[in-house]
Amino acid sequence: MVVVGLRAEEAAHREEMRGRFDIVTARAFGSPAVTAECAAGFLRVGGRLVVSEPPAAAPERWPAGPLEELGLGEPARRAMAGRSFAVLVCKEPTPARFPRRTGIPAKRPLF
């Protein structure tokens, strides 16, 4: 195991981490917009972002247009052992401009 002491916005632009992972998980990381933007750059095409969700999460939490801009498909909802998850598949490589520089995803979310 390797621990990387960087913010996700920085680490997702490192060559050794960009588009390299099959699965990225997030629990209580941030809003859906921040989570999707910060995670997308780590995923390889076909990889999955798995995000814990509130039990009665509204579908509009994950709008299709901005997700597509990040290279992500619409989420599939999953439940397991009383927990809810959104699973988003990386459909195409995340554009190089994402994630934006440190702090910007939270200050100016895509959705």
Per-residue pLDDT at 55: 81
Residue 37, domain member (yes or no): yes
Residue 21, domain member (yes or no): yes
Per-residue pLDDT at 3: 84
Find out whether 70 and 32 touch, Cβ atoms under 8 Å.
Answer: no
pTM: 0.92
pLDDT higher at 3 or 96:
96
Find out whether 88 and 23 touch, Cβ atoms under 8 Å.
Answer: no
Residue 3, domain member (yes or no): no
Q: Is residue 35 pLDDT above 90, yes or no?
A: yes
CA–CA separation, 73 vs 62, rounded Å? Answer: 10
Residue 52, domain member (yes or no): yes
Of the candidates 28, 26, 8, 25, which has an alpha carbon nearest to the alpha carbon of residue 17?
Answer: 8
Residue 27, domain member (yes or no): yes
* Amino acid at residue number 30: G
CATH of the domain at 24: 3.40.50.150
Domain tally, the chain: 1
Helix (H) or strand (E) holding 50: strand 43-53
Q: Is residue 1 pLDDT above 80, yes or no?
A: no
Residue 58, domain member (yes or no): yes
Each residue's pLDDT tens digit, 38-88: 999 999 999 999 999 988 888 789 999 999 999 999 999 999 998 999 999
Show the domain range for 32: 8-101
